[in-house]
Structure 1
Amino acid sequence: MSTAPAGADVFFVLIGAILVFAMHGGFAFLEAGTVRHKNQVNALVKILTDFAISTLAYFFVGYAIAYGTTFFVSAQVLSGADGTFEPQGLSLVKFFFLTTFAAAIPAIISGGIAERMRFLPQCLATVALVGVAYPLFEGIVWNGNFGLQAMVEAAFGAKFHDFAGSVVVHAFGGWAALAAVLLLGARRGRYDKQGRAIGIPPSSIPWLALGSWLLCTGWFGFNVMTAASLANVSGLVALNSLMAMAGGILTALIAGRNDPGFVHNGALAGLVAVCAGSDVMHPVGALLVGGIAGVIFVKGFEICQNRLKIDDVLGVWPLHGLCGAWGGVAAGVFGLESLGGMGGVSPLAQIAGTGAGVLLALMAGFLVYGVIKSTIGLRLSQEEEFRGADLSIHHISANPEHDLGR
């Protein structure tokens, strides 16, 4: 009977890890449906390969940087035999859960650099980002490393609050992606000689929609099961996630003039933004946060693509970068008791923490992708890009039998 609570928590966190792992299928199909048909296979292979590389980089290096824990002990110790690790492998499923978060960084970036990025450079970037850069910020925010959270609390009366990763995961991935996209450059034919955008339609709205649905479903594991135990789980997080998602869908529907891509990404925008304060906001506050995020995504995507001429294929910078930063700041506003929240947050602390996350992500993105660009290069050749990443990298298309004319 004494082991029952630990076993229940193991199962609880494991289900959360599985739900967030399933979100990576959402990343894959969202990208596969958005890119052109000749790049669909590459989208699917990238996400799965990046997850495997992320797992190893986080296991051998990243987790130790973030939490000071390594796994180079016996299986008995890992299972909790001497009290170093939590009983029944609870520490291990927590690692699995956090691995799915870490692997979201390259999955987010993948959508921005789609259709013209070489495969090996992206794999190397994943090692550096998941093994070193992301865990540095994760450890600062979620483990109090370097005493920076204590400094923020002393200065502003509260620590930087990011319950489920609006900034730690999404903004970090989105702003690192912006650096990668800028270094990579636009796809060939995306803009004419006068700088006018040339539309490249999605290859499959149903695949795009499936990706969004998978992400939305898994997100309730992403947010709710961040509690890490049955004793700490909160239905408020679930309801706030639901309300933010609904708000993002409806405002993106209106601002995006019924465009299906905006609608399905609007759901994700709302969920990105609510992560940070989902445990402290009132549901009406979460609805507003998600609704504003839906507009931020639509307008941010249009400005990014048409005015700034930044060829971010899936709009990961406006979706994860801008909406994630908005969520970080919004947690310090809508989490206040005066606005119906739980309290314990500071607007200034949220601004400081969000700004630090954005700055670190930009620096990491420019450093990692800049070094790779200057050494082995980032882009496919003009001929390879024209042929498509599927044939150029993987030597097979999404519909090989159809290509043979049989």
Structure 2
Amino acid sequence: MEVTRTGADVLFVLLGAIMVLAMHAGFAFLEVGTVRKKNQVNALVKILTDFAVSTLVYFFVGYGVAYGISFLHPAADLVGKTEGSAFAANGYDLVKFFFLATFAAAIPAIISGGIAERAKFWPQLIATSILVGLVYPITEGMVWGTRLGFQETITALFGVPFHDFAGSVVVHALGGWVALGAVLMLGARRGRYRKDGRVIAIPPSNIPFLALGSWVLCVGWFGFNVMSAQAIDGISGLVAMNSLLAMVGGIISSLIVGRNDPGFVHNGALAGLVAVCAGSDVMHPVGALVTGGLAGALFVWAFEMCQDKWKIDDVLGVWSLHGLCGAMGGIACGIFGLETLGGLGGVHPGAQFVGTLTGVVLGLASGLAVYGSLRATMGIRLSDEDEFMGADLAIHQIGAYPEDATSVHDDGALAARASARGMGAA
């Protein structure tokens, strides 16, 4: 029975890892559908290479920072076949790494949407290495591990630890607030805000791709949340139900507040899922529905304020979606998870507020520090000429529709460069 249970756990976590891996396709298509056509190839390549770099850095550095575990042992040890091995049988620790690596890689995937259309390629990969190798694992280890005595301190203050079941704060709020720092360091897209105060609208390039990205993320999210139990005997239908209702709540509220805007509706579903991650295992389903509804409305309000009033050019609204809704979800866990409101208990509003605030501060400070340092040393922004031409041709020498312009050597690309020089001079 023990062998069977271990094998079932390995399969359970592996399936979760595959579902969250699929979510990165959702991140990619959500960005592809939102950015202009001249930046679609860059979005696809950026998400994929960020995932590859994240996995390598997390394998060799980040996982050890978070949990003090290294995989530089003989394969027999890694699958628990050596007597006295610290690793579980059947390679359970390996699929657990795979699962958590997909979480770690979500940090640069989140940031990617905020800095789209004007960020340099290689400096972003360097930022990914720093964030996934150090910043995210430190936060992860504080909340889900034993690092820095964080949970012991929270427990001493409030009687219970900070609760973040599936990463509203550890993944989403952290990634969203790092993205805010990156966007502030990068600056707005060229021509987005005029000197006379006018805001120039840049509509999504492809609503079907945007919708596809949202749907892929929604489906994968049930692996993200439900399989955060990381063992077959910890699986809970409550997590699935709460995720479903929070998603629905986000859709309905964003539909109403966003006045039928398709971009808001599809991102509203994600806002609800972001917010419910922390408390999906302890909330009553009605509490999850309310949490998702509040998140959907918060996203619409914050996105419009960010873009139009505060003039922060966060292309996909990742600070609004992940940063603010993730923080709201961390706090909401301490309210709707209480037994008095139908939850399972074991949470405290004070613990959730302090834990969430810690994640927000770490995220914003890290974003400003990492991207500020890269801006000062090597630059993080494309030239005006390359930005006007588009990241696809400037960085990858091919566009999303090669029949239009397949190379920087094509006449169309050369004309774009000449036009960019003219606009720069103007």
Q: Deviation per CA, 1:284-319, whole angstroms, max 9, x where unpaired?
A: 000000000000000000000011000000000000
Q: Measured at CA, do residues 372 and 348 of structure 1 come closer, stay the same or move farther in structure 2, by a change above 3 Å?
A: same
Distance in 2 between residues matched to 1:164 and 1:398, nearest whole Å: 35
- Corresponding residue to 2:352 among 350, 353, 363: 350
Distance in 2 between residues matched to 1:133 and 1:27, nearest whole Å: 21
Q: Are 2:20 and 1:20 aligned? A: yes
Distance in 2 between residues matched to 1:77 and 1:173, nearest whole Å: 34
Identity %: 68
Which residue number corresponds to residue 366 of structure 2? 364
Q: Deviation per CA, 1:333-370, whole angstroms, max 9, x where unpaired?
A: 00000000000000000000000000001111111111
Which residue number corresponds to residue 282 of structure 1? 284
SS at match of 1:358: helix
Distance in 1 between residues matched to 2:311 and 2:79, nearest whole Å: 52
Which residue number corresponds to residue 183 of structure 1? 185
Distance in 1 between residues matched to 2:197 and 2:397, nearest whole Å: 33
Which residue number corresponds to residue 55 of structure 2? 55
Distance in 1 between residues matched to 2:146 and 2:301, nearest whole Å: 35
Residues 195 and 309, structure 1, Cα contact 8 Å, conserved in 2: no
- Corresponding residue to 1:378 among 372, 377, 380: 380
Q: Deviation per CA, 1:40-90, whole angstroms, max 9, x where unpaired?
A: 000000000000000001000000000000011000000112331011000
Distance in 2 between residues matched to 1:134 and 1:87, nearest whole Å: 28
- Corresponding residue to 1:300 among 299, 302, 323: 302
Which residue number corresponds to residue 121 of structure 1? 123
Which residue number corresponds to residue 246 of structure 1? 248
Q: Tell me which amino acid in the other structure corresponds to 1:154.
A: A
CA shift at 1:4, angstroms?
A: 1.0
SS at match of 2:233: coil
CA shift at 1:147, angstroms?
A: 1.2
CA shift at 1:146, angstroms?
A: 1.6
Q: Tell me which amino acid in the other structure corresponds to 2:13.
A: V
Distance in 2 between residues matched to 1:61 and 1:261, nearest whole Å: 37
Distance in 1 between residues matched to 2:272 and 2:2, nearest whole Å: 40
CA shift at 1:233, angstroms?
A: 0.5
Which residue number corresponds to residue 219 of structure 2? 217
CA shift at 1:330, angstroms?
A: 0.2
Residues 28 and 47, structure 2, Cα contact 8 Å, conserved in 1: yes
CA shift at 1:376, angstroms?
A: 0.2
Distance in 1 between residues matched to 2:120 and 2:328, nearest whole Å: 32
CA root-mean-square deviation = 0.9
The structure number with the bigger radius of gyration is: 2
Residues 398 and 405, structure 2, Cα contact 8 Å, conserved in 1: no
Q: Deviation per CA, 1:268-292, whole angstroms, max 9, x where unpaired?
A: 0000000000000000000000000
Residues 196 and 306, structure 1, Cα contact 8 Å, conserved in 2: no
Distance in 2 between residues matched to 1:292 and 1:388, nearest whole Å: 36
- Corresponding residue to 2:205 among 196, 203, 226: 203
Distance in 2 between residues matched to 1:21 and 1:361, nearest whole Å: 23
Alignment of structure 1 residues 78-89 onto 2, 5 Å: 78-81=78-81, 82=83, 83-89=85-91
CA shift at 1:158, angstroms?
A: 1.0
Alignment of structure 1 residues 36-75 onto 2, 5 Å: 36-75=36-75
Q: Tell me which amino acid in the other structure corresponds to 1:76.
A: A
CA shift at 1:136, angstroms?
A: 0.3
Which residue number corresponds to residue 392 of structure 2? 390
Q: Deviation per CA, 1:99-153, whole angstroms, max 9, x where unpaired?
A: 0000000000000000000000100000000000010010000012121111111
Residues 39 and 390, structure 1, Cα contact 8 Å, conserved in 2: yes
CA shift at 1:179, angstroms?
A: 0.2
Between 123-132 and 361-370, the greater mean CA deviation after superposition: 361-370
Between 206-215 and 187-196, the greater mean CA deviation after superposition: 187-196
CA shift at 1:255, angstroms?
A: 0.3
Distance in 1 between residues matched to 2:403 and 2:310, nearest whole Å: 40
Distance in 2 between residues matched to 1:69 and 1:309, nearest whole Å: 43
Residues 161 and 276, structure 1, Cα contact 8 Å, conserved in 2: yes
Distance in 2 between residues matched to 1:360 and 1:345, nearest whole Å: 22
Which residue number corresponds to residue 140 of structure 2? 138
Q: TM-score, normalised by structure 1?
A: 0.99
Residues 236 and 279, structure 1, Cα contact 8 Å, conserved in 2: yes
Which residue number corresponds to residue 423 of structure 2? none
Residues 234 and 279, structure 1, Cα contact 8 Å, conserved in 2: yes
Tell me the number of residue pairs that the alignment of Structure 1 and Structure 2 aligns.
405
Residues 24 and 104, structure 1, Cα contact 8 Å, conserved in 2: yes
Distance in 2 between residues matched to 1:194 and 1:136, nearest whole Å: 44
Distance in 1 between residues matched to 2:236 and 2:102, nearest whole Å: 21
Which residue number corresponds to residue 227 of structure 1? 229
- List alignment gaps of at least 5 residues for structure 1: none
Q: Tell me which amino acid in the other structure corresponds to 1:284.
A: V
Distance in 2 between residues matched to 1:196 and 1:378, nearest whole Å: 26
Q: TM-score, normalised by structure 2?
A: 0.94
Q: Tell me which amino acid in the other structure corresponds to 1:114.
A: A
Which residue number corresponds to residue 150 of structure 1? 152
Residues 247 and 273, structure 2, Cα contact 8 Å, conserved in 1: yes
Distance in 2 between residues matched to 1:9 and 1:25, nearest whole Å: 25
Residues 31 and 111, structure 1, Cα contact 8 Å, conserved in 2: yes
Q: Deviation per CA, 1:202-254, whole angstroms, max 9, x where unpaired?
A: 11000000000000000000000000011111000000000000000000000
Distance in 2 between residues matched to 1:229 and 1:88, nearest whole Å: 14
Between 80-89 and 226-235, the greater mean CA deviation after superposition: 80-89
Q: Tell me which amino acid in the other structure corresponds to 1:6.
A: T
Q: Runs in 1 of length 4+ with deviation above 2 angstroms?
A: 401-405
SS at match of 2:232: coil
